[in-house]
Structure 1
Amino acid sequence: MKALHDIADRLKAAMGLDMSTVGSSLIERVVRERMAALQITDDRHYLAHLQPGSDELQKLIELAVVPETWFFRDREAMLALARMGREKLVAGQSARLRILSLPCSTGEEPYSVAMALFDAGVPASAFQIDAIDIRTLSLDVAATGVYGRNSFRGSDMGFRDRYFTVQGTQWRIDEEVKAQVRFAAGNILSDDFLADALPYDFILCRNVLIYFERALQMQVVAMLERMIKDDGTIFVGPAEGGLMLSPRVASAGIPLAFGFRKRRHDEVLPAASIPAAPAPVSFAAATPATPKAPRARSSRSAQVAAPVVDAGEQDLLAQARLLADQGEFSRADALCEQVMLAHGANADAFHLKGLIADASGDASGAQRYYRKAVYLDPGHHEALQHLAALLQAQGDLSAARLMRQRAERAEQSTTQGAGSHG
C-alpha cells in the first residue's frame, strides 16, 4: 500500500492530480492496468519505471486523465467570450484575438469557441486559438475532429447542422473550424510552460483547478494572471470562482460565465477584504438549469432565515447564481433558502446549493443537495451529472456510471420532447 501512495505522489508531482480528490480506487485501477501491460507484479518494481519524463509516466498520465467534456459545455462562457471578442475588435482594442484553451481535452471546448466567434460575425483572420493538453490521446482525437453522440448534449444542436458533416454514426467538424485551432501537448505545471508566449485576450482554464491542492492552485492562478492581457478575461469552472478572487483579480460580472479580469489600479483592494478561497472540490461542473415550476414547501427551508428580497422565484435564483459566480457563496446560499421559504422546495435551488457546498469543500453536503434535486426532479440533468462526478471522485464508479446513464436518458427525453413540439 505504501508503494501505491508513492506512485500517487509521483503522479501528483508530474501533473498535479491529488489522490484525495479523485479517490484511491481510480489511481489503483490505472496503476494495475499499466502493471499488467508490463507484466509487473511488484509495486516497488513498477515505481522504478516512473522516472520524471519517462514514457511510462506519460502512459500512466494518459490513463489517469479521464476526458469528460462536450460541445458548448457551459454555453454562457462561450457566448460571452464571442460577444466580448467582437466588441474588442470593433473598438480596436485587438487586431487579432489570442485565445487559450487549457486543458483542451479532446477539442470540444476550443472548437466551440471558434464556432461561437463565427456565429458572432468574427472572421477567421481575426482570431487564433491555442489549445493545450497533457494527454496526447486526447490531442489525437481533437486533431482528427470526428466525434460521437456523447460530445453533443442538450437540445440546441443548430451548431452541429452548421459546422459538421455526418460520417456514419459520427460527425466530422468542418475544416474552417479546425483551421482556427492549434493543438499542442504541454504540462501546465512545467516551470517553462508558455514562458515566452505573448499575453492572451481570453483564457479558458475550467474545471482543472479543483483537482489540485491549495499550493498548486495558487501557482496556476498566478500563471494565468501572468498570461492574460490587462484588459483580458479568464474563464474558470463554477466551483473555481473563489480561487480567482484576489487583490489583483475581480469578477467580470457576467452571469453564469464565471469570468474574471485584472483589477484596475484604482480599484485594487487590500488582501483582508477578499474572501478566503474555498477548498478544492471534485466534480465536472455544468451550466445551472433553467428554473422550473414551484414544488411543495420544504420543512427544512422554513427553519432558515434568509434576507428579504422582493423578487419572484426565478429572479431570486438568477441573483443567487450571479452571487455564486462572484464567490459570494453565503449570500447565494441564503437566497436559495429564501426561494424555498417563499415558493416551496425547488430542484434548481437544491442544485445550486449543491454547487455551493462543492465549492466550499463540503462533499457530503453537496451530495445531499444533489440527491434532493434529483428526488424533486428525476430528470434534472445537471444535478445528475454533478452527482455522478462526485461519486466517481469518491471511488464509487458503479454508482457514478448509473447516474450518468440516468443523465443521458433525461437528456434524450428532453431532446425528443423538444423535437416533438417543434
Structure 2
Amino acid sequence: MQSLLTDADLERIRALIYKETGIYFEPKKNYFLSSRLAQRMQVRCCSSFQQYYNELLYSHKETELSCFIEEITINETYFFRDFPQLRGFAEEVLPKYLERKRRARDATMNIWSAACATGEEPYTLSIILQEMIEDYANWDTEILATDIDRHVLRHARIGLYSERSVKETPIVYRQKYFQRTADGWQLLANAMQPVTFEQLNLVDRVSMRRKRGFDFIFCRNVLIYFDDDSRKKVLSCLYDALNPGGYVFLGHSESVGRITASFLLERVGDFLCYKKPATSATR
C-alpha cells in the first residue's frame, strides 16, 4: 500500500494536516506519514489514495479526519515530566503568585494544560497545587485539560496508568494520590476532582478565543511541531487567555523570543517562563 503513495500524495496530506492542525510534517517524515496512511486506508477499505483523500475531505470531521489526526499526533508523557521546571513553578513562581492573589482577596486558581495527551500533566498540576497551597480547601481551583485527540482524552478521564507513567512520581505522592490495582495505578478522586477535559484544536481560532481567565498555562513540547506562523497564532491566543500577571510554561527547547515580544521573559532556576504584563499593553 505504501508503494502506491507518491510524493504528490504526501504533499497533499501534509497540506491538509497543516490546515487542520497547524502541524507541518517535513519530507523526512514521509515514511511515518506513509505508514499511517496505509493503516487507515486498509481500515477504510480504500483501494486508492484519491478514494481515501476524498473521504478525509468530505466525511464528517468527527469521523475519518479526526481518526487520521489521532493516528499521527504524538502523546509522549508521564507524571512529573521535566521535574526541574515543575519544581521551579511550585517553589518559586506559585508562592509569589498566591501571595498576590491573597492580597487581592482572590481565592481562585485557574490553570490550562494545553495538549494534555493522556492526562499526566494536568493531574500532576492538581497534585502540586494540593501540596503547595496550605489552605487548599479554601481555594476554588480549576484545571482545564485539552487535546485534539479524543482517544487520549477518554484514557485521561479514566485515570488509570501504567508503571511507566508513574516512574517519576515520588513514592509519597503515589501513596497519597493513587491506588495500586491489578491493572495499574488508579488515580484517587482527590487528584482527579479539579480537572476537566475538553477536546480542542489549538489552531481553531473560534474555540481558542473563548478561553479566558487563566493564571497559568502549560503548553509544553507542543509548539515544536508547528511552523512560525502557527506558533504566532497559538501564542497570541494563549496571551489573550491569560490573566494579567499570568504565566505560560513551554517545553525546555521551546522559545517565544523570535515569535512575539508580548510576553515578559523570566528565568526561574535553569529554565525560562513567560509572563503576561500585569498591565497589558495593546499589541
Query: Does residue 1:31 correspond to 2:9, yes or no?
Result: no
Structure 1: which 5+ runs fail to align?
272-422
Question: Larger RCO: Structure 1 or Structure 2 (Cα < 8 Å, ≥ 6 residues apart)?
Answer: 2
Cα deviation, 1:98-147, whole Å, max 9, x if unaligned, reads: 11000111000000000001111352543110111000111011100000
Matched residue, 1:101: 113
Q: Alignment identity in percent?
A: 24
1:161-172 mapped onto 2 (5 Å cutoff): 161-172=175-186
Q: Which is worse superposed, 17-26 or 225-234?
A: 17-26
CA contact (8 A) 2:212 2:240 kept: no
Query: Does residue 1:123 correspond to 2:115, yes or no?
Result: no
Q: Residues of 2 paired with 1:263 and 1:92: CA distance?
A: 17
Query: Does residue 1:186 correspond to 2:194, yes or no?
Result: no
Residues 1:183 and 1:265: Cα distance change in structure 2 (over 3 Å) = closer
Per-residue deviation at 1:161?
1.8
Residues 1:219 and 1:119: Cα distance change in structure 2 (over 3 Å) = same
More strand per residue: 2
The number of residues matched between the two structures is 268
Per-residue deviation at 1:44?
1.2
Q: Which is worse superposed, 38-47 or 52-61?
A: 52-61
- Corresponding residue to 1:159 among 173, 190, 214: 173
Residues 1:73 and 1:8: Cα distance change in structure 2 (over 3 Å) = same
Matched residue, 1:69: 77
Per-residue deviation at 1:262?
2.3
Matched residue, 2:3: none
Query: Does residue 1:218 correspond to 2:224, yes or no?
Result: no
Q: Residues of 1 paired with 2:270 and 2:27: CA distance?
A: 24
Per-residue deviation at 1:89?
3.8
Q: Residues of 1 paired with 2:256 and 2:208: CA distance?
A: 25
Per-residue deviation at 1:242?
4.2
Cα deviation, 1:49-90, whole Å, max 9, x if unaligned, reads: 112752110000111112100001112333344441533443
Structure 2: which 5+ runs fail to align?
1-5
Matched residue, 2:103: 91
Query: Does residue 1:203 correspond to 2:212, yes or no?
Result: no
Matched residue, 1:255: 269
CA contact (8 A) 2:80 2:121 kept: yes
| TM-score (norm. length: structure 1) | 0.59
Matched residue, 1:240: 254
Q: Residues of 2 paired with 1:153 and 1:3: CA distance?
A: 41
- Structure with max Cα Rg: 1
Q: What is the RMSD of the two structures over their aligned residues, measured on CA atoms?
A: 2.4
